[in-house]
Amino acid sequence: MKSGNTDSTILDKKQALAKAEHFCAYQERSQKEVRYKLVEWGMRGDELEEVLSELIVNNFLNEERFAKQYASGKFGIKKWGRIKIKQGLKLKGVPDRILQKALYSLDDDDYMETLQTLALKKAGVMQESNPIKKKMKLVAYLQGRGFETDLILLALKASNLN
């Protein structure tokens, strides 16, 4: 039981809808996040589904909009690659069809430019003197950021970091 949480149960569907609308208006949410929150607030069964439907109809909840914003935010701010973004969206319960749309909404030129920038920046601070080990560490770092191996190798070649 959470201490200090006074709104753990909401019996009224109207109250739950108002609170969920505020929750969704604050920032984009996935259906899975909203469903979890409604359950946390005491909503179950048909009432929960009705509230979700109402949120979708009134455009407070839009899975495609959420996925595109998530992808662009994680790429633009955190500099994540498509693999890591895909994993994050899967954890949020986004369907594959929508997930693919969100990933393809990222600009390919920006994507490669970001990858090259990250590679050059990391290569500049690495202490490794052995070029093979340095390349392996660089590839591992960029894979950890969620970038695809084939694109990493292209970026390294283009940046003369081979």
Residue 72: inside a domain, yes or no?
A: yes
Q: Tokens 């969620």 sit at which residue?
A: 146
Contact present, 123 and 139 (Cβ < 8 Å)? no
Sign of CA dihedral 87, 92, 95, 101: negative
Output the domain CATH number for residue 43. 1.10.10
The total number of structural domains that make up the chain: 3
Residue 25: inside a domain, yes or no?
A: yes
Contact present, 102 and 89 (Cβ < 8 Å)? yes
Q: In one letter, which amino acid is 128?
A: E
The arithmetic mean of pLDDT across residues 113-117, rounded, is 95
**Could you tell me if 89 and 55 lie in one domain?**
no
**Could you tell me if 55 and 69 lie in one domain?**
no
Residue 35: inside a domain, yes or no?
A: yes
**Could you tell me if 72 and 96 lie in one domain?**
yes
Kindly report the pTM of this predicted structure: 0.86
The CA R_g of the chain, rounded to the nearest whole Å, is 21
Residue 3: inside a domain, yes or no?
A: no
Domain encompassing residue 125: 108-159
pLDDT tens profile 34-48: 999 999 988 888 889
Pair of tokens at residue 54: 């109402």
> Who has greater pLDDT, 7 or 152?
152
Euclidean distance between the first and final Cα of the chain, in Å?
55
The arithmetic mean of pLDDT across residues 48-76, rounded, is 94
